[in-house]
């Protein structure tokens, strides 16, 4: 059985690796939001390392990144504080944002 490159497999599931589109998306989010903080999420069985960016109002985005080191370097380069999500969790404003979106039917 031939397997495509660019990711790893867990059982029968292919885990997609980070790519330049992910980096571009993260850069655009940082450039167009204020008060952004980064939360580096560790690799799991079903996902590579991810960078969760949360704006001042709780709006957020998450993308795969090559490594935790890459995520912290990206954050530093863009003036974004970054944290280990496994240690600090995710901010309450993100949960509040999700709740508001759900209440508005989005």
CA–CA separation, 22 and 40 (whole Å): 14
Confidence of residue 89 (pLDDT cuts 50, 70, 90): very high
Going by the DSSP 8-state scheme, the letter that residue 43 receives in this structure is P
Domain boundaries, the chain: 7-103
pTM of the model: 0.82
Residue 52 predicted with pLDDT over 70: yes
Residue 14 predicted with pLDDT over 60: no
CA–CA separation, 101 and 93 (whole Å): 12
Residue 55 predicted with pLDDT over 50: yes
pLDDT for residue 17: 64
- pLDDT of 61-77, one tens digit each? 999 999 999 999 999 99
Residue 61 makes CB contacts below 8 A (sequence gap 6+) with 25, 26, 29, 52, 53
Average pLDDT over residues 6-23: 62
For the chain, the distance separating the N- and C-terminal CA atoms, rounded to the nearest angstrom, is 41
Average pLDDT over residues 68-91: 97
Average pLDDT over residues 46-56: 96
Residue 94 makes CB contacts below 8 A (sequence gap 6+) with 52, 54, 58, 60
CA–CA separation, 30 and 68 (whole Å): 18
């Amino acid at each position: 059985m031939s397997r495509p490159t660019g990711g790893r497999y867990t059982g029968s599931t292919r885990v997609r690796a980070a790519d330049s589109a992910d980096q571009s998306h993260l850069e655009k989010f940082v450039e167009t939001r204020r008060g952004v903080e980064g939360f580096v999420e560790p690799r799991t069985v079903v996902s590579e390392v991810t960078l969760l960016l949360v704006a001042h109002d709780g709006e957020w985005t998450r993308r795969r990144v090559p490594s935790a080191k890459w995520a912290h370097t990206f954050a530093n380069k863009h003036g974004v504080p970054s944290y280990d999500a496994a240690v600090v969790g995710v901010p309450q404003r993100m949960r509040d944002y999700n709740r508001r979106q759900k209440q508005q039917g989005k």
